Amino acid sequence: MTPTADVIAGLVADPGLAAAWRRAVPGGELFGIAGATASTLGSVVVVAPGPIDDAQLTAATGELAQALGVRAVELVLASGSTLAELVRDWTYQAAQGSGRGVHVRVHADGDPADGPVRVLVRAIDSSARELAFRLGSPQEPALPALRALLGGREVTVEDEETLG
């Protein structure tokens, strides 16, 4: 799915990461790319017009890890036509299995172009709480990478059950 022009306009394309991406995926078009690190782990969020093959994925992971100066990178290839769809797709991928059975709602408060984004997760078991805790951890670079992709917008992941 191609993001709308409004969504694309709000995405950041980090020049160093974009160059690493293009080395690994020659001719690979990007709508946005940003990353973050925590200790020796990195996370990169890419919004591109289409999927890449396994060889390109392996090459991209290596190039992006080198560009971030870390030994390992979690790569999220987010897709969606709206901000909510992009963030929902990011959530499911960043969950790395801990999000099974988790329902995700995305709220962009205030100005849709630059207001805060709340990712509300819920599940019948403790999966939502675990997911919100893991993504909000300072040792987890996925959420800071998404914030960077969205131009520094405030993004939170919250368990609906713990909200009052």
pLDDT along the chain (164 residues), means of 10: 85 96 92 94 93 93 97 93 89 72 71 74 77 83 94 86 68
CA-based nearest residue to 37, from 75, 76, 71, 68: 68
- In this prediction, residue 105 carries a pLDDT of 76
- In this prediction, residue 112 carries a pLDDT of 56
What single-letter amino acid sits at 113? A
- In this prediction, residue 44 carries a pLDDT of 97
- In this prediction, residue 50 carries a pLDDT of 85
What single-letter amino acid sits at 35? G
Q: Are 10 and 85 in contact (CB under 8 A)?
A: no
Give CA–CA dist 81/127, Å, rounded: 27
Q: Are 142 and 74 in contact (CB under 8 A)?
A: yes
Q: Which two tokens stand for residue 68?
A: 């971030």
- In this prediction, residue 88 carries a pLDDT of 87
- In this prediction, residue 2 carries a pLDDT of 83
Q: What is the pTM of this model?
A: 0.88
